[in-house]
Each structure stands twice: as structure tokens, then as C-alpha cells.
Amino acid sequence: MSEPIVHVSCVRHTYPDRTSVHLCGLDFVVEKGQRVVILGPNGCGKSTLLYHILGLLAPQEGDVQVFGVDPAKHFSKIRERVGVLLQNADEQIIAPTVYDDVSFSPRNYGYTDAEVGEKVSVALRKVGIEHLAHKVCHYLSGGEKRKVALAGALVLEPELLVLDEPFEGLDPSSRNDIVDLLNRLNREHGVSLVVATHDVQLVQPLADKVYVLKRGGEILAQGPPAEIFRDVELLKRTNIEAPVLAELFQCSSRAA
């Protein structure tokens, strides 16, 4: 079996306000081609875990490896292999028009104008927003901005896509569009996914494997969604509301 593309082992980080997050209990592992969801309530350390994967935080204890390197020290070696979608798309969109924004990374990495144009066209087509190419980002809807930011994350054709609460603030239709898009990227292009969310209803259609965190960062469990959601007591211990289907499963099991 090949080495995992992400391996996080017992990482600790203390923020300036002295809040300490200890991501321990189980190692966090992502294999090539996997769709992995990090599930937990607000404040449990989901973003802290992602920031370590992206090299934005360096662990005070523990070890982080992404594509075989420490991302806090050597992210430049893997930057074109990793795409990022932040929780707030407005923070990620930095150019006036959609084309300008999506073309930012390849332009700054030294691609020719022709290569930039081709990469932007492919990214916009993947996300289904070719018609927005020359629109002003400021006037787009929340769902459209999220897709622009996602196109920017995909423009260099990354092998790993890291998403922090990608469904926050979206209506049900836009959420479903993003889920369908992520699954298509995984299925057709082999993109590995790491998605942090507290929305349990979107885990089942999106994840091969789920990691459950509780407040403070402890990784309590990992496994396929069906296995995790059968353990309603586990979800209650982490203040996660079980999906409706999981509750129905428990009721029917007790009745039998």
C-alpha cells in the first residue's frame, strides 16, 4: 500500500489567547483518492487541523506530513498539488473579475498567457461557471462566489482539495450543487478531498471516511459514515445532532 498523502499525528497548538487544541486520540490519515470529512461542533479544532495540513500553523507538538513533507516548512514544494477553499469565500476572492481571480495563481507561478487562458477555461468549465468569466465578483451571489473560489482552488489541477465549512451560508440547492461537483471531481479526476463541516446531513453523500472531533480537538472515532452514524451516543457526546436517518435507524432497531 502506498504512503498516505496526509498524516497528522497528535498535534498540539496553543493560540495567543491561550486556547489549546490537542488533536490526538487517533492519527488523521488520508489515502490517495479518498473523500474524508472532519465532523465536529464549532470550536472542536476542525480549522486548526486544516491549517496544519496547509502549513499555516506549525505544530508545537506532534507531526504533520503532506505528500511526504512538513507543510509548515516546505509548502512551496507541494503548493501546486493542494487546492484550498476557505470558509468565507470573500476572503479568498482578491481580483475584480472572475477571470482575473481564477487566473491569479497560474499567472504568479509563471505560466504563459496561453497556458493561463487554458487552465482558467478548464477550471471554470469544471465548476460550471464559464458564463461568469467577465462578471464583477462583488455582485455575485454567495453560491456563485463559492464556485469562483473553488475554481481558483482547482485551476492548477491539485491532487488534494482542502475545504473549510464549504456549505456555510448556502441555500439547499447551492449546497447540493457543491456536493455534486466535489463528488464529480473525485470520481472523474481523482481529486482527494478533506472537508471540515458540522452539517451532518451532507456527510453521507460526500464521505468515504469520517473523523469525529470533540471540543478541545480530541479525535474520538473514524470510519465509514454508516458506521459512525449508527453510534448515536458517540454523536451525543460530541454535541453533534444525529442525522434524521440515523435516528430512524436507531428507533427501528429498538422496535425490532
CA 201 to CA 54: how far, in whole Å? 26
Q: 256 pairs with which residues across the strands? A: none
Q: What is the pLDDT of residues 101-154, one digit of tens each?
A: 999 999 999 999 999 999 999 999 988 899 999 999 999 988 899 999 999 999
Long-range contacts of 225-230 (CB under 8 A, 24+ apart): 225/37, 228/39, 228/203, 229/200, 229/203, 229/204
Residue among 223, 245, 247 at smallest CA distance from 233: 247
Q: What is the pLDDT of residue 10?
A: 94
Q: What is the pLDDT of residues 65-106, one digit of tens each?
A: 999 999 999 999 999 999 999 888 888 999 999 999 999 999
pTM above 0.85, yes or no: yes
Neighbours of 226 (CB within 10 A): 12
Report whether 212 contacts 181 (CB < 8 A).
no
User: Quick check: is 1 in a domain?
Assistant: no
User: Quick check: is 116 in a domain?
Assistant: yes
Total count of domains within the chain:
1
Q: What is the pLDDT of residue 2?
A: 65
Domain range for residue 230? 6-255
CATH of the domain at 65: 3.40.50.300
